[in-house]
Chains A and B, each alone.
Chain A
Amino acid sequence: MKRIEPSQWMERSLRFILHPRDRDAICGDLYEEFCEEKVRLLGPFRARFWYMRQVLSFVPQRLGFVLTAFCLFTMAAGCWLGMMDIILHHPGYAQREWITVLIVGQAVLTLAALHVRSLPWLRPLALIGCAGIGWLGARSFWLAATGVNFEGYILLISLGLLMQAALTLVILPSLSPRMPRRV
């Protein structure tokens, strides 16, 4: 008789979500529990549902990793926009330079608030700043989406800013000073 196992895509998702240190141990634990207990107690369908719930329960722990990725993206995008403005000298470039400095500064501040737990005062600053980049992202998105000239890169960067602002709002208030979380 064929052994009922968790779906491969769910196991792959779990491995992807988990920190490399924990991948083998946690995947093994859940596999064992699924095969030896849950299938027998709940039946294959509900056991798969149980497994999916367990996979989803690990997602919040890895949101810090996603926020880090978005911060690095907006930081790189801000540097690129700043460089382009310095090289091309389009009208109003000096004002845009300030905006890129703010984008890069906010990304650095958020990364510091996320990773340097010994400086908790960085968190309120990053939260205040995220309101600014959220507004900037929403405004840029609206202008890029409704403007005459469609500029895809502005749309992409503004989406990055919006995601960074939303994730900052979700993650930073829930950080505990005692909790060195792996991101």
Chain B
Amino acid sequence: MANRAAAFESGGKNDSATEELTTLDTYVYIVSMAALLGTFEQIVLLAVLTAGDAAYGRAVLRTVETNLGPERSVSAGSVYATLDRLEAQGLVASRLERGTAARRGRARRFYRLTTRGVVDLTEARSSLERMWRGVHWPVEAPA
């Protein structure tokens, strides 16, 4: 197994290790990589987390916009699609509450992180921290 991991990490340069790879290994590797949260998913989860009890759609959208800065434009479609996907994966849960006159009585959907959401977010951060360990900052461009 260590050999197989070495083969993946060497990008196939280590020939003896590459020989050990099977289709199943490749499949397992791809699936486990797909299970990692994407950057935008992490941003949305963090926005839900920081908005706390007031994490309804608009608040999440504003938090994402504020944190990404004015130079990056964030569309509502991408934020709601991500929330939708995270909810389908069981990482966030939502509930509807009655709307106010400021929104013509339309309902508000509040989001909160589930236990699985917290675990996945923590795992994503730990993975990134492990990856960055030993890398000199700022990263220098190759000559």
Residues of A within 8 A of B (CB): 22, 24-33, 35-37, 53-54, 56-61, 176-182
Beyond A22-B80, A57-B75, A182-B84, 11 additional contacts (C-beta under 8 Å) are A24-B107, A26-B76, A27-B106, A28-B103, A29-B57, A30-B76, A33-B61, A57-B76, A177-B34, A178-B34, A178-B89
Residues of A within 8 A of B80 (CB): 22, 26, 58
The proximity string for B residues 102-143 relative to A, scoring 1 for CB distances below 8 Å and 0 otherwise, is 111011110000000000000000000000000000000000
Q: Tell me if A24 and B58 are in contact (CB < 8 A).
A: no
Q: How far is the CA of A24 from the CA of B100 in the complex (A)?
A: 12
Q: Tell me if B77 and A31 are in contact (CB < 8 A).
A: no
A to B contact number (C-beta, < 8 Å): 73
Chain A residue at minimal CB-CB distance from B56: A29
Of the candidates A26, A56, A59, A61, the one having the most CB atoms from chain B within 10 angstroms of its own CB is A26
Min CB–CB distance B37 → chain A (angstroms):
11
Q: Does B88 contact A (CB under 8 A)?
A: yes
Residues of B within 8 A of A59 (CB): 77
Residues of B within 8 A of A35 (CB): 102
Shortest beta-carbon contacts, A-B, top 9: A57-B77, A28-B106, A57-B75, A28-B103, A25-B109, A29-B58, A29-B57, A54-B76, A58-B77
Q: Tell me if A24 and B84 are in contact (CB < 8 A).
A: no
* Contacting residues of chain B (77-96) with chain A, CB-CB under 8 angstroms: 77-78, 80-81, 84-85, 88-89, 96
